[in-house]
Amino acid sequence: MSILVMMRHGQSEWNKLNQFTGWVDVPLTEKGVEEAIEGGKLIQDIPFDVIYTSTLIRAHMTLMLAMLHHHSGKIPVLMHKGEGQQEEWGQIYCEEAKEKCIPAYTAWQLNERMYGELQGLNKAQTAEKYGADQVKIWRRSYDTPPPNGESLEMTAQRTIPYFEDEIVPHLRDGRNVFISAHGNSLRSIIMDLDGLSREEVVNLELGTGVPIIYEFLHGSFTRKELSDLS
């Protein structure tokens, strides 16, 4: 058995301003920092073997803050795989130091859905201009992208293969995994794990800084509550 924990990043500066963010690389607010720390406290007793995150700073901040009070005392270390000299010169040569670290891998495939020409726009003002129903379709539907952006279906075409090829093998080998990512990249993965329909995923909303936990056993994922693990 192994454990998968996924967490949407804490509130970002553009979440606070109610703006479409997508791939714009904005940081957390003070509230987002607090959410990440509090979310991390909920999973501080779950031992992690490997961490995955997107390339965006709000997800990086969340994973580091979430691990701040982890009872293992281990430090997440970003692994710069395939980044030339950064990877070569970032090697750890002390085995004792390695034992106190958790490798954290970044992947653009886990980035938020790219919102195209909506990025930076205020959501309420966009709803006034295009209608609330249209904006809800752009934000929550499965196969309708915003102008020059990605639909959830298009997002799933990058997140799910990456999840299956890079993350699931760790779970199969009995390793516990923590993913710090985004509302839509995680929605696409959860849709697949829970077998949600296109209609059901419209109502799937992920809170900021809230851990989502799955048990992986005999090739199957089962959603769990924190109380189930105590």
For residues 137 and 202, give the distance between their C-alpha atoms in angstroms, rounded to a whole number: 8
Task: Verify whether residue 60 is a known catalytic residue.
Answer: no
Query: What is the identity of the amino acid at 107?
Result: A
Q: Do the Cβ atoms of 110 and 162 come closer than 8 Å?
A: yes
Of the candidates 9, 60, 70, 182, the residue annotated as catalytic is: 9
Of the candidates 35, 60, 70, 112, the residue annotated as catalytic is: 112
Helix (H) / strand (E) element for 136: namely helix 132-140
For residues 215 and 102, give the distance between their C-alpha atoms in angstroms, rounded to a whole number: 20
Task: Verify whether residue 153 is a known catalytic residue.
Answer: no
Helix (H, G, I), strand (E, B) or coil at 82: coil
Helix (H, G, I), strand (E, B) or coil at 203: coil
DSSP state of 149: S
Give residues with Cβ within 8 angstroms of 73, minimum separation 6. Answer: 100
- Residues classed as catalytic: 9, 112
